[in-house]
C-alpha cells in the first residue's frame, strides 16, 4: 500500500443549534477552511481533488435521504466519485479510513473526507429516540430506548467489577471541559470541580449531565493525499502545511449490537485473542489478569469494548507501536461519556483492564500546562482529548471522528496556535497521535495512527 498523508482539515463551529446554515453550508464552512489552509482557491482545489467520502449518521435528523449527494453537489464536487459511509458514532472514523483506503490502494491521489450532523432539528428527547433506534428495535429499544441508559448499565458493571468510582469518572469531565476552554471550536468551555459534576442533574445513574456529551450541529473535513497527490497540489500552487502528517496505522473492530449478546470469554481466550503484545510480554500482567479471572471477571462482558481493543491492536501492529502510553504523544478518543473514556483507556492499552478508573484520576492523561484544580499524583504522560473531546466540543455524530482527525493533524503540524489563536493545547513536540471513533455501545470502533514526518 502507498503512503497516505493527512494534509489539511477544517471544522465548523459546533453548537447546540446552527439554524443559520443548512448541512451543506456547514460542510462548506469546514471544507473551505481546509482548502484555504492549503493555500488554494476553491476552483483550483476542485480541479485537483479526485473524489470524496461523506459521513453522516442518521437520515432521521435531517429527514433527508441521500443527504450526502446534496453536500457533494453544494461543494461543486459532482461528477467526481463519492460514497457515504455510516456506522453510528464511528461514522467519521470510518469515513477517514475509507478516504485512506482510496489513496493507499492507488485508486486516487487526493481525497476529501467530509462529515456532518444537524441534530437540532428535533427536540432533545426525540433526538434521544432517534439515537436509540441504533439499538435492536425488537428487544432493546422498546425496553430502554435511551443510549445514556445503555452506557450507564455498562459502567455500573465496570464499577462493580473493578471498583471504578464516580469521582474518577468526574476527573475526565473536569479535564475535558477545561481543555476546551482553550479551544474556540468547542462549545462547553468551563471550569468545573468534581463536586460540580456529581451535583449536576442525574440522567442515568450514575451518569450526570456533565458526564455526557451533547447533541450538536456541526461539520468537519480533512484532505488526504498520496505523495503524487501532494506533488499535484503543489504544482497547482498549494503550500502544503509542514511538517507532513502521515497516516501510519489503521484498525477497526466490531461487536454485537445487543450488549446482552456479548460473550464472557475465559482467560485463555482473552490472552490469545485480545491481550496486547505488551500485556503478553509481561509476566506480572499475565498474573494480574489471571487473578482477575480467578475472581470471576470475564471478557468483554458489558464492561469492556472488544471492538475497541481489536481496533487498537490492529492499528498498533500496523504502526509498530508496542507501548501506546509512552509512544503516543496524545490521543483524541470518543468520550461520549466519561465512563466510556475510562473504558477506552483500557481498550487502547494505556492501562490494564480494571485500572481505567485510577488511571483517569492519576493525571497521566492530562495536559502539563493547565491547572485543573485537582490533586493529581502523576505527571502527564499521554494527554487524552486535549481538544476537550466530545464532552466539551459536542457530538454532531458524522462530523466527530473527522473533527478528531483535524485536531490531530494540527497537533502534529504544531499549528494549534495558528488555528486556535491559543497555544495552550499544543502538545509539545508531538510526533505521534491516535484518533479513536466509537459507535453505539461499542459496535464499530476505529483507531487511526497519525505521525509527523
Partner 1 sequence: MAKIPKKQLETLGGTIVHNLPFPLDTSPEALVWLKKMAPIQIEQPYSIVYLHSYAQDSPWFAGLSNKKILANKDPETGYTYATPRGHDMYTGDETDWIDITERKAAVHAFTVCHFGSEAFLEETPYVLVLVKFEGVNTLLLSRLMGIDPEQATLDWIGMELKPQFLRNSKIKPTDVYFIPA
- Name residues whose C-beta falls within 8 Å of residue 5's C-beta, 6 or more positions apart in sequence: 224, 225, 226, 227, 229, 230, 244, 245, 246, 247, 453
Candidates 2, 106, 107, 139; binder of partner 1 (CB under 8 A) is 139
Give the x/- contact pattern for partner 1 in 292-311, rule: CB under 8 A: ----------xx--------
Buried b (16+ CB within 10 A) or exposed e, 394-413: bbbbbbbbbbbbbbbbbbbb
- Contacts with partner 1 by CB under 8 A: the residue count is 44
Least Å from the CB of residue 125 to partner 1: 4
Report the residue number, 69 or 122, with the smaller CB distance to partner 1. Answer: 122
Q: Which stretch binds partner 1 (CB under 8 A): 137-145, 171-179, 220-228, 361-369?
A: 137-145
Q: Which stretch binds partner 1 (CB under 8 A): 1-9, 133-141, 317-325, 360-368?
A: 133-141
59 binds partner 1 (CB under 8 A): no
Q: Which stretch binds partner 1 (CB under 8 A): 99-107, 125-133, 235-243, 363-371?
A: 125-133
140 binds partner 1 (CB under 8 A): yes
Half-sphere exposure of 86 (CA within 13 A, CB side): 11
- Name residues whose C-beta falls within 8 Å of residue 115's C-beta, 6 or more positions apart in sequence: 27, 54, 55, 56, 91, 92, 95, 219, 220, 221, 398, 399, 400, 401, 402
Question: What is the rounded CA–CA span in Å between residue 227 and residue 246?
Answer: 10
204 binds partner 1 (CB under 8 A): yes
Task: Match 433527508 to its residue by C-alpha cell.
Answer: 64
157 binds partner 1 (CB under 8 A): yes
19 binds partner 1 (CB under 8 A): yes
159 binds partner 1 (CB under 8 A): yes
Candidates 43, 65, 66, 138; binder of partner 1 (CB under 8 A) is 138
What letter does residue 210 receive in the DSSP assignment?
Answer: G
429 binds partner 1 (CB under 8 A): no
123 binds partner 1 (CB under 8 A): yes
**For residues 223-282, which are near partner 1 according to CB under 8 A?**
256, 258-264
User: Taking Cα atoms as reference points, which of 272, 283, 377, 277 lies closest to residue 327?
Assistant: 277
Question: What is the rounded CA–CA span in Å between residue 54 and residue 430?
Answer: 29
Candidates 1, 2, 20, 184; binder of partner 1 (CB under 8 A) is 20
Amino acid at each position: 500500500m502507498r503512503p497516505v498523508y493527512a494534509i489539511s482539515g477544517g471544522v465548523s463551529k459546533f453548537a447546540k443549534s446552527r439554524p443559520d446554515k443548512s448541512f451543506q453550508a456547514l460542510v462548506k464552512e469546514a471544507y473551505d477552511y481546509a482548502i484555504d489552509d492549503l493555500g488554494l482557491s476553491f476552483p483550483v482545489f476542485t480541479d485537483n481533488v479526485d473524489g470524496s467520502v461523506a459521513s453522516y449518521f442518521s437520515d432521521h435528523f435531517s429527514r433527508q435521504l441521500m443527504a450526502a449527494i446534496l453536500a457533494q453537489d453544494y461543494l461543486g464536487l459532482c461528477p467526481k466519485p463519492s460514497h457515504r459511509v455510516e456506522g453510528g458514532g464511528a461514522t467519521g472514523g470510518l469515513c477517514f479510513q475509507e478516504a485512506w483506503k482510496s489513496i493507499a490502494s492507488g485508486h486516487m491521489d487526493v481525497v476529501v473526507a467530509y462529515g456532518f450532523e444537524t441534530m437540532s432539528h428535533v427536540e432533545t428527547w426525540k433526538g434521544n429516540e432517534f439515537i436509540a433506534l441504533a439499538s435492536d428495535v425488537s428487544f432493546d429499544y422498546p425496553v430502554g430506548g435511551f443510549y445514556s441508559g445503555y452506557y450507564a448499565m455498562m459502567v455500573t458493571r465496570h464499577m462493580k467489577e473493578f471498583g471504578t468510582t464516580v469521582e474518577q469518572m468526574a476527573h475526565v469531565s473536569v479535564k475535558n471541559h477545561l481543555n476546551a476552554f482553550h479551544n474556540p471550536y468547542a462549545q462547553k468551555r468551563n471550569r468545573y470541580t468534581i463536586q460540580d459534576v456529581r451535583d449536576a442533574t442525574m440522567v442515568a445513574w450514575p451518569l450526570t449531565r456533565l458526564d455526557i456529551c451533547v447533541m450538536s450541529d456541526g461539520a468537519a473535513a480533512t484532505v488526504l493525499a498520496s505523495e503524487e497527490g501532494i506533488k499535484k497540489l503543489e504544482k497547482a500552487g498549494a503550500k502544503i502545511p509542514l511538517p507532513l502528517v502521515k497516516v501510519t496505522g489503521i484498525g477497526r473492530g466490531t461487536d454485537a449490537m445487543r450488549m446482552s449478546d456479548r460473550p464472557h470469554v475465559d482467560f485463555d481466550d482473552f490472552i490469545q485473542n485480545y491481550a496486547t503484545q505488551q500485556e503478553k510480554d509481561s509476566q506480572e500482567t499475565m498474573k494480574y489478569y489471571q487473578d482477575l479471572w480467578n475472581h470471576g471477571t470475564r471478557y468483554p462482558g458489558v464492561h469492556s469494548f472488544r471492538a475497541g481493543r481489536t481496533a487498537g491492536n490492529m492499528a498498533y501492529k500496523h504502526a509498530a507501536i508496542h507501548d501506546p502510553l509512552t509512544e503516543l504523544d496524545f490521543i483524541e478518543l470518543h468520550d461520549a461519556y466519561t465512563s466510556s473514556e475510562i473504558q477506552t483507556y483500557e481498550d487502547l492499552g494505556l492501562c490494564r483492564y480494571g485500572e481505567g478508573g485510577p488511571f483517569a484520576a492519576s493525571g497521566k492523561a492530562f495536559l502539563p500546562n493547565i491547572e485543573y484544580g485537582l490533586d493529581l499524583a502523576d505527571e502527564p504522560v499521554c494527554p487524552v482529548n486535549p481538544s476537550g473531546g466530545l464532552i466539551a466540543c459536542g457530538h454532531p455524530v458524522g462530523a466527530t471522528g473527522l473533527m478528531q482527525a483535524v485536531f490531530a493533524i494540527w497537533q502534529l503540524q504544531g499549528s494549534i496556535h495558528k488555528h486556535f489563536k491559543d497555544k495552550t493545547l499544543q502538545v509539545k513536540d508531538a510526533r505521534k497521535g491516535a484518533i479513536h471513533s466509537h459507535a453505539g455501545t461499542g459496535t464499530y470502533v476505529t483507531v487511526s495512527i497519525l505521525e509527523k514526518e
